[in-house]
Structure 1
Amino acid sequence: MSALAPLPVSPTAPKERVAYLDNARYWVMLLVVVGHSLTEFVVMDSARGVYTWIYAFHMPFFVLISGYTARHYVGDVRQVRRIVSTLVVPYLIVELSLQLITRHYDGEPEQLMVLSPQWLGWFMAALILWRLTTPIWRALRYPITTSIVISLASVLIDIPNALALHKTLGLLPFYVIGLHMTREHFLRLGDWRLRLGSAAFLGALFVWCQLKQYDDSQPWLLWKNSYVDLEVSAVDAVVGRAVLIVLALAMTFAALSLVPRRRSWTTRQGERTFYCYLLHGYVILLLDRELHLWDKLEPYGATAVVGLILGAIVLANLLMTAPVARLFRPVFEPKLTWMFRPIDESPKVTIPT
C-alpha cells in the first residue's frame, strides 16, 4: 500500500506573544488555583465569600481569553494537529489519571469515564468543542446573541456530562465574545478612569460577598445545573443565568482593565499557565487524600483560609516556572509526528490564466 501524499497547508504568520494576554493568564491562573484550594472550605464563612467572588468571574475570564486567542482558527491541518497534541492528549492523560487516583482513595468512579470529565478535564473538553466549532461562530450573523440564547436554554435541560457539555454550553457566550474581540477593545479597557472604576467595582463586590455569604450561590456558579437541580422555576433559572452572565462579563472586563500592559516577570509566568492548570489538581488531590490537609486545617478557621490562599499562590507560581515547563512539555505537548500525515509546506505557484 503506497504512502499517503503530504497534506497541503496554507502558510501562517509566526505568532507573537502579547505581554498583556500573558499577564492576564497569570492572574486568572492564580484565581483558579486559589479557588480550587478553597473548595473544601466553602462551608466556612471565612472562605465562602472569597470563593463566591472568585467563582463569579474567574472561568468566564479564562474562557473569554481563550476565545480571543482562537480567533484565527480556521481548521487547517496544522491547527487540527495542534488540537490533538495540546488538548486531546492532555485531556486523556489528566482525566484518566485523576480518575484512577480518586478511585484508589474513594472507590469512585467504579468504571473509568473517559468522555465524562470529573474535575479539571472539563475545560480541555470544552476547549476542544469550542475550537472545532469556531468557524461556525465566525460565520453566523448574530453569533453572540445566538450563544447567549443557547446558554440560557441550556439551564432548562438536563444535559449529560458527555465532554462537559453542560458547562460548554453554559459558558459559550464568553468564548464567542472573546472570539469577536479585537486588540482595540482591550486597549480601550486601559483608560485610567475605567481602571479606577474597575478597581472600585471589584473591591465593592468582594466586600459584598464577604458580608452577604450566599449559602445557595455555589450551584449557580458551576454553570452546569438545570433548573430542576437548582430547585427553582424555569423562569427564575433563566433570569438567574442571565444575571450571572451580565455580572461575570462586568467583572471580567473590570479585571481585564486592571491587567498590566507591560512585560514583567508575571508575563514569563503567564506563558506557562498550561502546565500549572494541568498539574495543580494532582497536588491538591494528593494533599487532601493522602495527608488529609484540609481536615487538619479546618479547626483553625480564618487563619487556615489565609494560609491556604498564600499556599495556593506559592504553588501556582512554582508550577509556572521554566523547569516545570521543560520537564512536562514532552508529556503534555507531545509532537506526535508518527501519528499524522506529513505536511507539504512547499510554496504553491499560481499560473495566471
Structure 2
Amino acid sequence: MTAATDTATTAVQPPSTPRIAFIDNARFLIMLMVVIAHPLFHFISLDAGRALYYWLNLLMMPAFAMLSGYISRNFCGTPKEIQRTVSTLVIPYIIVEASYQVLQRHFTGGPDPYMLLSPKWVAWFLAALFLWRLTTPIWRNLRHPIIVSIVISLIVPLTEVPNVFAIPKTLGMLPFYVIGMFMTIDRFERLATLRTRIASAAVLIAVAVACALYSTNWDVSWTKWRHRYGEAALDATPLEGIATRSVLIIVGLLMSFAIISLASRRYTWMSRCGERTLYCYLLHGFVVMALLHTTGVFEWLKGLQEVGLVIMIAGAIALAIALMSKTVAVLFKPIFESNLDWAFRPRERLPK
C-alpha cells in the first residue's frame, strides 16, 4: 500500500471503565482525522493536500497513543483483562491484517508471501497497543518511565529493527503511551481553562501555518516513526535523526494536549460516536482500498484540484460518522469484540 497506510487507530476502552465525555469527544475528532488522512495521501501533489496530510500525521497517532495510555493505565494482566485484550486486539488484528493482505494480493499481487506478523496498514496500531498494554505494569514500576521511554524512542532508529508486530513504530511512539498512563482526570481538566484553550488553538494553528509554508521541504516519512535514521527515506546522521525525532515528540505532545484541551466536555452525539471508534478504525480501510483499486475516484477528484480535495474531505467525514454508528457497532461487535469465554478456563479453576 501507499505511505498513508501506516496511519491509523483507536484505543480500546475496557467495559468497566466509566465513560468520560471529553475523552470520547477527542477520540471522535481524532478518528475523523484518521479517516481523512488515508485518502488524503493521494492529494499530496497539491500544496493544500500535502500541508494538511503532514499536519494530520503530526497529531493523530500521538494523540491516540496518549489516550490509549490513559485508558490502559490500570492494566495489571488479570485473567479478565487478558481475555478482553485477546478479544479486542489479538482477534481483530488477525482478522483485519489477514483480510488486508489477501485483498492487497488480489489487487496488486503483493505481499508475496503473506506476512501476517508484519502489519502493512491499520492493524499496526492493534499490535502496538497489545505490546504497550502488556508492558504497562513495567512502566508503572520504573523510577523514571517517561525518560526511559523517550530514550528508547530516540535510540531505536540507530539500528535495524525488524517490523514484527510493528516494533519500530511501537517503540518510536512509546513516549506518548507512557505519558498518557500518568495523566489523570485532574490533569486533563486543567487543559480546559480558557487560557489553555486559547493557547491550544494557537499551537494547532501555528503548526498548520508551518506545514503550509514548509511541508514541501519536509519528508513525511519522519511522521511514520518506523525508519532508521540512515535509511534513504530519512537520510539523516544519528545526531540529525535524534534532534528531528525530539522535535517530533515535542510537537506531537503539544498537539495532543491541544486537541484534548479543545474537545467538548459535554456529552453529545459525538461522544456516542467516540465510544465506537474501534469499528470505524478497522473498517474504513476496506472502503478506501476498494475505491482505490476498483474506481478512479481519487484521480478524478485530484483533477478537480482544491474543489476535489474539499469533496474528498467531506466524503471521508461522512464515512467516518457512518462507521461510528450504532448499527455498524451492532453488526460487527460479535467479530471485533467477540465473547471468548469458551476459549479461556473458568477463573475459579485457575491455579492459586
- For Structure 1 versus Structure 2, the TM-score category normalised by the shorter chain is over 0.9
**Cα distance in 2 between the residues matched to 1:216 and 1:193:** 32
SS in 2 for 1:110: coil
Q: What's the offset of the Cα at 1:216?
A: 3.1
Q: What is the 5 A alignment of 1:84-163?
A: 84-163=86-165
**More helix by percentage:** 2
Change (3 A) 1:129 1:218: same
- For residues 292 and 333 of structure 1, the distance between their equivalents in structure 2, rounded to whole angstroms, comes to 34
Q: Distance in 2 between matches of 1:275 and 1:248?
A: 25
3-state SS of 2:230 partner: helix
SS at match of 2:272: helix
Is contact 1:52–1:217 with CA below 8 Å preserved after alignment? no
What's the counterpart of residue 180 of structure 2? 178
**CA–CA separation in structure 1 for the residues paired with 2:26 and 2:15:** 23
- Give 1:176 shift: 0.2
- 1:314 and 1:167, CA in 2 relative to 1: closer, same or farther beyond 3 A? same
- Aligned equivalents of 2:15 and 2:266: distance in 1? 23
Q: CA deviation at 1:45?
A: 1.5
Residue type matched to 2:69 in 1? Answer: G
Deviation of 1:300 after TM superposition, in Å, equals 1.2
* Deviation string, structure 1 residues 281-340 (Cα, Å, up to 9, x no partner): 000000101113212222111111111111111100000000000000011111022211
User: Residue 310 of structure 2 is aligned with which of 306, 310, 314?
Assistant: 306
Partner of 2:62: 60
Following superposition of structure 1 onto structure 2, how do residues 286-301 of structure 1 map, counting pairs within 5 Å?
A: 286-301=290-305
Do the aligned residues in 1 keep the contact of 2:200 with 2:259 (CA within 8 Å)? yes
Unmatched 5+ stretches in structure 1: 1-11, 349-353
Partner SS state of residue 338, structure 1: helix
Pair 1:237 & 2:241 matched? yes
Match of 2:289 among 285, 306, 316: 285
- Closer/same/farther in 2, CA of residues 323 and 175 from structure 1, 3 Å limit: same
Spell out, residue by residue over 1:77-125, the C-alpha distance to the aligned partner (whole angstroms, 9 max, x if none). 0000011111000000000000000100000001111100000110000
- Assess if the C-alpha contact under 8 Å between 1:155 and 1:241 holds in 2: no
Higher mean C-alpha displacement, 214-223 vs 115-124? 214-223
User: In the TM superposition, what is the alpha-carbon distance from 1:24 to its structure 2 partner?
Assistant: 1.0
Structure ranking higher on relative contact order (CA contacts 8 Å, 6+ apart): 1
Counterparts of 1:320-335 in structure 2, within 5 Å, are 320-335=324-339
Moved over 3 A (4+): none
RMSD: 1.7
CA distance in 2, matches of 1:81, 1:13: 12
| 3-state SS of paired residue (1:224) | coil
Q: Residues 46 and 301 of structure 1 are in contact (CA less than 8 Å); yes or no, is this contact kept in structure 2?
A: no
Give a deviation string over 1:26-51, Cα, whole Å, max 9, x none: 01101111111201222321200000
Q: Which amino acid aligns with 1:290?
A: T
Aligned letter for 2:82?
V
TM-score in terms of structure 2 length:
0.93
Deviations 1:31-73 (A, max 9, x none): 1111112012223212000001111111000000000000110
31-40 or 132-141, which deviates more: 31-40
Secondary structure of the equivalent of 1:16?
coil
Distance 2:41 2:18 in 1: 36
Count the aligned residue pairs: 336
Letter in 2 for 1:20: F
Of all paired residues, the percent bearing the same amino acid is: 47
Letter in 2 for 1:183: I
In the alignment, residue 312 of structure 1 is paired with which amino acid? A
Question: Which residue is 1:192 aligned to?
Answer: 194
Instruction: Give 1:65-80 correspondences, 5 Å limit.
Output: 65-80=67-82
Q: CA deviation at 1:155?
A: 1.8
Q: What residue is the counterpart of 1:8 in the other structure?
A: none
Q: What is the CA–CA distance in structure 2 between the aligned matches of 1:241 and 1:90, rounded to whole Å?
A: 31
Quick check: 2:101–2:111 contact (8 Å CA) kept in 1?
A: yes
- CA gap of 1:215–1:139, structure 2 versus 1, over 3 A, is same
Give the distance between the partners of 2:335 and 2:87, measured in 1 at CA. Answer: 10
Once residues 17 and 302 of structure 2 are traced to their aligned partners in structure 1, the CA distance between those partners, rounded to angstroms, is 46
CA–CA separation in structure 2 for the residues paired with 1:13 and 1:162: 29
Is 1:15 aligned with 2:5?
Answer: no
Alpha-carbon offset, residue 213 of structure 1: 2.8
| Distance apart, 1:13 and its partner CA | 10
Deviations 1:159-206 (A, max 9, x none): 111000010000000000001111111010011011011112212221
Conserved 8 A contact 1:152-1:241? yes
